[in-house]
Amino acid sequence: MFITIDEKDRRPIYLQVVDEIKTLIARGELKEGTPLPPVRQVAANLGVNLNTIATAYRELQEEGLISIKHGTGAIVTSSRANNFSSEEDLRRPLRAALTQLVLVGLSSKEILDLVAEELKQLVKGGK
Amino acid sequence: MFITIDEKDRRPIYLQVVDEIKTLIARGELKEGTPLPPVRQVAANLGVNLNTIATAYRELQEEGLISIKHGTGAIVTSSRANNFSSEEDLRRPLRAALTQLVLVGLSSKEILDLVAEELKQLVKGGK
Amino acid sequence: MFITIDEKDRRPIYLQVVDEIKTLIARGELKEGTPLPPVRQVAANLGVNLNTIATAYRELQEEGLISIKHGTGAIVTSSRANNFSSEEDLRRPLRAALTQLVLVGLSSKEILDLVAEELKQLVKGGK
Amino acid sequence: MFITIDEKDRRPIYLQVVDEIKTLIARGELKEGTPLPPVRQVAANLGVNLNTIATAYRELQEEGLISIKHGTGAIVTSSRANNFSSEEDLRRPLRAALTQLVLVGLSSKEILDLVAEELKQLVKGGK
DNA sequence: GTGGTCTAGACCACG
DNA sequence: GTGGTCTAGACCACC
């Protein structure tokens, strides 16, 4: 399982980890039932503290994507997020991302291509 | 100029403000040369601390979108962001937003429609 | 002997087992002298690790409710717990349970009814 | 605001703090809108680490009882828990607490008196 | 002056 | 061998 963290990214490391794992789940690279690697192992690989990864796992558990069992480890339990979010909550981050692409000078077509490309990687499996 | 902040949004208020203003600029609702309302006024309208808005304006200035002049206020100077960001920096938030949409159960088509809709609102003015 | 464990319950499995068995003893469904089923059997039934049940039995033994004999298994020895607990130790979990009921919006009457109902099931046999 | 922690209690400190604050909210000693004392102050008072209290506050926020604002502090936002719990989830801890009281030898009447007493303190205000 | 995040490391609880 | 909790302390982000 490949996760990378970005020093330059201003968001906290644990949230970066959360997003990377979410993407892996969305892509189907982590299917339901799959065990996640131990907290300590991920922490060692990324060179960060154990607690940082533990926080990420806890967050994923709260969103209902994984289940953590004491003494046993964590497994993916769902590829569906508990959606307590309103449509606006989903639109906001999308709009912000698109806005930045526009401001950087990309044309509508370039943006749509970019979106299509990313989306294709996310739903490789089908749907 | 209409800005709203979302109590439930976990991101800092100043970043929410930054994003909303960026969207207004991208949409052409704030054109080059337009003055931004005074920090005090925005802060009062939103019921937040003055420093919060000042931080947002500073951030926008650093990205080259506005110019802050002591005594005269801030004006929009460009509809192009200084792009110091790598391609990956632009992709990451997009991927995160798309990932969440996938996890919430939307189909590729639904997501593309959503993107197209948001994008249309962003480039209404031109391009 | 019917025991169930609740995946969603955040408390450790062994404690859930301890509490379920205590309830059976309090209700008189497990009387003094009754043998408890072998650790292996309970573990198999619940699909949990053998050590988990062993830990539960050990806990019950420490409270003086059962006696574990190597080779012969465990038997219920008392329907009275060794009360090493202060009054406050007994009140705390009660208060926590009642607090949650209040916060969830139940009225005093509803709560008292609930208590009476549970209590009736616990002392069916006598007292 | 008086909180105490119990060395002998086997539950983690942060959960003890959570329960104590919940009780204060249920009792109406902490009303909606009331600010909670700063994390560092509570930590100092109890002689525990700052992170321990921060964890407790985060838990209360997740249950919807308080709202934490960066740079501002935490305030009580509701005296109603977000009740995602099934009835069984509410009964379990109550049953466990009552079971222990029975096993310790209290009569039904004594238990009901104890419940009534605790409950009275919880709903002093009325209902 | 708030809370948030992270570290290094210890020790415990669980299965 | 898992994850959980806690500490002491540093540094950052936010308002």
Best CA proximity match to B96, nearest among A11, C3, D43, A1: A11
By C-alpha to C1' distance, E5 is nearest to: A12
CA distance B55 to A113: 34
pLDDT at site C127: 46
pLDDT, mean of residues D58-78 = 95
- Confidence band, pLDDT 50/70/90 cuts, at residue C79: confident
- Confidence band, pLDDT 50/70/90 cuts, at residue A123: confident
How many C-beta atoms surround the C-beta of residue C2 within 10 A? 7
- Going through B30-85 in order, the beta strands assigned E by DSSP cover 66-69, 73-76
**Partner-chain residue, chosen from A80, A99, A114, that has the shortest CB–CB distance to B105:** A80
pLDDT at site A127: 46
- Going through B13-117 in order, the beta strands assigned E by DSSP cover 66-69, 73-76
CA distance A70 to chain B (A): 26
DSSP class per residue in C49-66: -HHHHHHHHHHHHHTTSE
Indicate the average pLDDT of chain C: 92
Q: Which nucleotide's C1' is closest to C54 (Cα)? A: E15
Question: B11 burial class (0-12, 13-18, 19+ CB within 10 angstroms)?
Answer: middle
- Confidence band, pLDDT 50/70/90 cuts, at residue C125: low
> 3-class SS at A35?
strand
Which structure tokens are listed for D14? 């942060």
CA distance C28 to A64: 39
Residues lining strand F at under 7 Å (Cβ) are A 10, 36, 38-41, 50-51, 54, 57-58, 68-74; B 12-15, 48-49, 51-52, 55; D 12-15, 47-52, 55, 69-72
Q: Which positions on chain F have an atom < 7 Å from some protein CB? A: 1-10, 13-15
Q: Which positions on chain E have an atom < 7 Å from some protein CB? A: 1-10, 13-15
Residue A122 has pLDDT above 90, yes or no: yes
Low-confidence spans in chain B with pLDDT less than 70 = 125-127
For residue range B2-20, what is the model confidence (pLDDT) as tens digits?
A: 899 998 888 999 999 999 9
